[in-house]
Structure 1
Amino acid sequence: MATLSSFLLATSLVLAGCAGGGGGNASGTAGGGGTAGKPHVLKVANYFATDHPQNVALREKFKPMVEEKSGGSLQVQIYDNSKLGAEKEFYDGVRNGTIEMGIPGLIMQADVPKMAVGEWPFLFKDFAHAKKVLEGPIGKEMTDEMESKHGVHALAWSANGFRMFSSNRPIASVNDFQGMRIRMPNIPNYIKLGQLLGANITPMPISEVFTALEQKVVDGQDNPIATLKASGWYEVQTDVLESKHMFSPNLYIINGKLWSQLTPEQQRILEEAAKAAADYEWELLEKSYEDDKKFLQEKGIRFTTPDESFRQAMETAAGPLYDEIYQTYPWAKEMVEKIKAEAK
C-alpha cells in the first residue's frame, strides 16, 4: 500500500507539472506576445479595375505582408472592381462592419468636411507635394474625426492621381466645356467645379461610366488616366485634356469596432502593411503616367496640354467655389495656405 501510494503521488505530480507546462505554452502561443490573437478574414473592397496600381499593391504588398507577419491569424480577401458595391455601398459596409476594410475616395466628406480638402481644385503642385501634405500633420487633421463620426479607422493614404477630362471631342479652351455632358462623382465640390467650367454634370457610380460613354449618355468624364486605361474607357473616348484640375487621394480604412478587437501586434502589422502597400501604390501610379499616356496614344487617344492662359482661365473659373468654401468653413483658408506653403 505504501508503495502504491508513493507511485500515485508521483504520477499526480508529473501530470500536474505537464498540465501546467502545457497551459503555459498554449498561453504563450495564443498570446505570442500579442502576435496571434483571434483569427479574422479581412475583406478589402475597392472600385478599381483588377490591374490598377491600387490592386497591384494590395496583391503584391498588403496581402502577403499581413498574412505572413500575422502567422495566418489575419487572412486578406481582395474584392476589386466594385464587386462588393459602388463606393458608397462598400464604404457603408465598412462603417457597419459587414465589410472589414476598404479603399474609398473621399466620399465621407459630407459628414467629415475636412476630408474634402484633398480634392479642392488646383491645390496640389505634384505627387510629392500631395504625398507630403497627406502623410503629415494636415493629413492627420483631415482624418481625426472619421472614427468618432463614422466608426472607421484610417490606416494610410494612397493615391488615385491627378484628375483629367476625357471626352469624345477636343477641349482646347474653357469655352469648349460649354454644354458638354460630363460624368463626375456625386460630390458637391466636383459638381460645382464642373458647372463653373460650363459643363452639364451627370453624377453616377464609376461602374456605370463605360456604358454611359458608349451610349453617349455623357460626352466625357474626369479621372486620372490610370483609371481611363484600366477601365477600358479609351475604347469609347477620343481625347484627354491634361487639366490636372484636382488631385484625388484614397484611404485605407478598417471598421473601428473590429480595429479595437485586434491585438496590438495585429494592429501594428496592419498599419505597417497598409503603409508599405500605399507607398508602393504611390510609386507605381506616378511612374506609370508616361507609360499609360503612351498606351492611350497608341489606342488613338489625343492629348491636349493646356497652356498657362488656359490653365489660369480654369483656376479663375473655380474661384467662386473657394469663396463658398471659405464662407462655410472658418478653418478652410488657413488650411489652404498651409498646404500651398508645403509646396515651397
Structure 2
Amino acid sequence: MKKMKWLAVILAVMLAVVSGCGQKQTGNNGKSSDKDGVKTIKIAHYFAADHPQNIALKEKFKPMVEEKTNGKIKVEIYEANKLGDEASFTNGVRNGTIEMAIAGMGLQTAQPKIGVVEWPYLFKDYEHARKVLNGEVGEEIKEEFRKLGVEPIGWTVNGFRVVSANRPIKSMDDFKGFRLRMPNVPIFVETGKAMGANVTPMALSEVFTALEQKVIDGQENPYLTLKANGWYEVQSHVIETNHMFSPNVYLINKKLFDGFDKETQEIILEAAKASADYQWELALKAENEVKDFLKKEGLEIIVPDREFRSQLEKSVEPVYEKLYKQYDWAEELVKKIREQ
C-alpha cells in the first residue's frame, strides 16, 4: 500500500511538471503572450513589396503600433503570398495561426453579404465607394466578417476593374465573341456574360501566357494589377468599363483582438485607419501614374461615352434580378448603397 501511495505521489508530480512546461508564458493579465511579453502580429497579403497596400503597412501601421505600444507588439509583414495564397492566409486568420491579413472579399462564399461591395455598377466613383465602406453599410458588412471569427479594422482600395484587350471595344457589339478572362467567382462570371463576353475562368498565373498565345482576347482587373502582371505587353487597348469595384480589408483574428485591453485595441484601430487612409491616397495617385505609363507604352485607353456606359449598366440588370430572388436582404441593401 505504501509503495502504491508513493507511486501516486510521483505520478502527480510528473503530471504537474509536464502541465507547467506545456503552458505559454503569460503577462500580468493572465493572457497568453510571446516571449518576454512581446506579442508578434504577422500580417499576410498577396501584394508586391512596392504596392500601395504594402507601403502603407510599412510606413504607417507597423511603426504606429510598435511605437505606441512601447514595443509590446511587434509587427511582421509578409507580402507576395509568402504565407500562402489568399485562401490559406485568410483561413489562417480565422483559426488564429496568422494574426492579420489584407484580404479581398473571398469570405463571401461563407457569408454572401460580404460580396455585395463587388456587385456590378454599384458605385459611381471612388468617393462614393469610400463613403459607403466607411459608413453604415460598411459597419453592416463588418458584422458578417465577425461571424467568421475575424475583426475587420480597415477598408482599403484595390480599384475599379477595367478591361484590357487586343482590340478596341467601343460598343456592346464589340463584346460579342470577345474571350474574356475572369476569376472563377459566380458574380464575376455572370457579370461578364451579361456584358456579352465569352467568359473564360482562369487562374491569375495563367493569364499572361493565355493572352500571349491568344487563347483569350483580354482580361479585367484594376489598373495596378494590369501593370504589375505585365499584361500590357501583350495587349493594345484598355476599356474603362469600371464594371466592378474591388476593395480590400484589414482582418485580425477576433479572439486576439478581443483579448487586448481597450488601450491596445484603440492603438490598433488608429493605426489601421491611418494606414488605410494613406493607402487610398497612394493607390489613386498610382492609378493615374499607371495610366500615363500605359499610354507611353502605346496602349489606347477608351473611356465609354454616355450611351455605351448606359448600355453596360443596363446589361447587368438580369444579374441583380437573380440576386434579389436569391437573397431577401439584397434589394434593400443595394438601394441604400445607391442612394448615398
Q: Normalising to structure 1: TM-score of the pair?
A: 0.84
What fraction of aligned residue pairs are identical, expressed as a percent?
Answer: 54
Which residue of structure 1 aligns with residue 142 of structure 2?
Answer: 143
Which residue of structure 2 aligns with residue 256 of structure 1?
Answer: 254
The counterpart of 1:293, out of the listed 291, 294, 301, is: 291
Counterpart CA distance in 2 for 1:40 and 1:84 is 19
After superposition, the Cα gap between the structure-2 partners of 1:99 and 1:297, relative to the gap in structure 1 and judged at 3 Å, is: same
Counterpart CA distance in 1 for 2:77 and 2:204 is 18
One-letter amino acid of the counterpart of residue 182, structure 2: M
Counterpart CA distance in 2 for 1:226 and 1:193 is 21
Which residue of structure 2 aligns with residue 278 of structure 1?
Answer: 276
One-letter amino acid of the counterpart of residue 126, structure 1: D
Which residue of structure 1 aligns with residue 46 of structure 2?
Answer: 47
The counterpart of 2:301, out of the listed 300, 303, 311, is: 303
After superposition, the Cα gap between the structure-2 partners of 1:315 and 1:167, relative to the gap in structure 1 and judged at 3 Å, is: same
Deviation at 1:217, TM superposition (A): 3.9
Q: Which has the larger radius of gyration?
A: 1
Preserved CA contact (<8 Å) 2:114 2:144: no
Counterpart CA distance in 2 for 1:179 and 1:82 is 34
Range that drifts further, 270-279 or 208-217: 208-217
Is residue 2:162 matched to residue 1:164?
yes
Counterpart CA distance in 2 for 1:207 and 1:97 is 28
Which residue of structure 2 aligns with residue 5 of structure 1?
Answer: none
Range that drifts further, 316-325 or 260-269: 260-269
Preserved CA contact (<8 Å) 1:86 1:206: no
Preserved CA contact (<8 Å) 2:160 2:243: yes
Counterpart CA distance in 2 for 1:107 and 1:158 is 15
**What pairs up with 1:233-248 in 2 under 5 angstroms?**
233-248=231-246
CA offset digits 1:120-169 (Å, max 9, x no partner): 11111111111111001110101212222x21111111111111111222
> What is the Cα-based RMSD across aligned positions, in Å?
2.3
Counterpart CA distance in 2 for 1:200 and 1:251 is 31
CA offset digits 1:249-285 (Å, max 9, x no partner): 1100011222233232222221111111111111122
After superposition, the Cα gap between the structure-2 partners of 1:322 and 1:214, relative to the gap in structure 1 and judged at 3 Å, is: same
* Structure 1 unmatched runs, 5+: 1-27, 32-36
Preserved CA contact (<8 Å) 1:87 1:205: no
One-letter amino acid of the counterpart of residue 124, structure 2: K
Counterpart CA distance in 2 for 1:283 and 1:199 is 33
Q: Matched residue of 1:321: which SS?
A: helix
Which residue of structure 1 aligns with residue 92 of structure 2?
Answer: 93
Deviation at 1:54, TM superposition (A): 1.0
Deviation at 1:220, TM superposition (A): 1.8
Range that drifts further, 206-215 or 163-172: 206-215
Q: Matched residue of 2:240: which SS?
A: strand
CA offset digits 1:154-198 (Å, max 9, x no partner): 111111111111122222222222232322222211111011122
After superposition, the Cα gap between the structure-2 partners of 1:168 and 1:74, relative to the gap in structure 1 and judged at 3 Å, is: farther
Q: Matched residue of 2:161: which SS?
A: strand
Preserved CA contact (<8 Å) 1:169 1:239: yes
The counterpart of 2:218, out of the listed 210, 217, 220, is: 220
Counterpart CA distance in 2 for 1:224 and 1:180 is 19
Deviation at 1:38, TM superposition (A): 4.2
